[in-house]
Amino acid sequence: MPGLKVLLSRKTIAQRVAEMGEEITRDFRGQSIIFVGVLKGAAVFLSDLARQVPLDSTFDFIGVSSYGNRPTAKEDPAGHAAWDSLGEVRLTKDLDQSLADRNVILVEDILDTGLTLNYISKLLQAHQPRSLRIAALLDKPSRRKQPIQAQYIGFTIPDAYVVGYGLDYAERYRNLPDICVLENL
Contact footprint for ligand IMP (CB under 6 A): 41, 66, 69, 85, 108-117, 161-163, 167
CB of 184 vs ligand IMP, minimal distance in Å? 15
Q: Which helix (H) or strand (E) holds 42?
A: none
Using the minimum distance from each CB to ligand IMP, give the nearer residue, 24 or 167. Answer: 167
Burial 73-105 (b: 16+ CB within 10 A, else e): eeeeeeeebebebeeebeeeeebeeebeebbbb
Using the minimum distance from each CB to ligand IMP, give the nearer residue, 28 or 133. Answer: 133
**Cα–Cα distance between 34 and 132 in angstroms, integer?**
10
Using the minimum distance from each CB to ligand IMP, give the nearer residue, 99 or 148. Answer: 148
Q: Is 60 a catalytic residue?
A: no
Of 109, 112, 139, 178, which one is the catalytic site residue? 112
Report which of 160, 164, 184 is spatially closest to residue 174, judged by C-alpha positions: 164
**What amino acid occupies position 21?**
G
CB of 157 vs ligand IMP, minimal distance in Å? 8
Using the minimum distance from each CB to ligand IMP, give the nearer residue, 34 or 110. Answer: 110
**Cα–Cα distance between 99 and 63 in angstroms, integer?**
16
Report which of 7, 12, 9, 27 is spatially closest to residue 135, judged by C-alpha positions: 27
CB of 124 vs ligand IMP, minimal distance in Å? 15
Determine if the peptide bond prior to 74 is cis (ω within 30°). Answer: no
CB of 32 vs ligand IMP, minimal distance in Å? 26
Catalytic residue positions, numbered:
112
